[in-house]
Structure 1
Amino acid sequence: MASRLFFKTATPLSFAAIAVASAPVAFAESPRRSIYDNDKKEEEIAPVPGTVETGKAREGDIEKFEKEHGVSVENVGGVTIKSPKALESNIKVAREWFADKVQQGNQYIDEAFNKYLAVENSVTKTVADLKSPQEDILPAGIYITVAALSGSILTRNRNILFRSAIPLAFGVAAFSYFLPQTAHNTGALVWKYEQKVPEVAKAHVDAKESVDSFAKNVRKALDDGKTSLESGVHSTRKFIADSTGLQLPDVDENDKKK
Structure 2
Amino acid sequence: MFSSVLRKSLATAAAGAVVIQSTTTIQAEESTATSSKNNSKLSIYDEPEPKRVVIESPTKLEEHVAYAQKYANERLDEGKAHVDTFHGHVQSFENDVRGTINEIVSEDEDILPNAVYIGVAALAGTIIARNRNIVLRFLTSTAMATGASFYLLPKTTHNLGVQLEKLERKYPELGKAHATANEAVDDVRKEVDAVLLKLRGQLDEGKEMVKKQVSEVDSLDATKKKVESMYSTRSSPAVDETLKKD
User: TM-score scaled to structure 2, two decimals?
Assistant: 0.48
Q: Which has the larger radius of gyration?
A: 2
User: TM-score scaled to structure 1, two decimals?
Assistant: 0.46
Specify which structure has the higher proportion of helix: 2
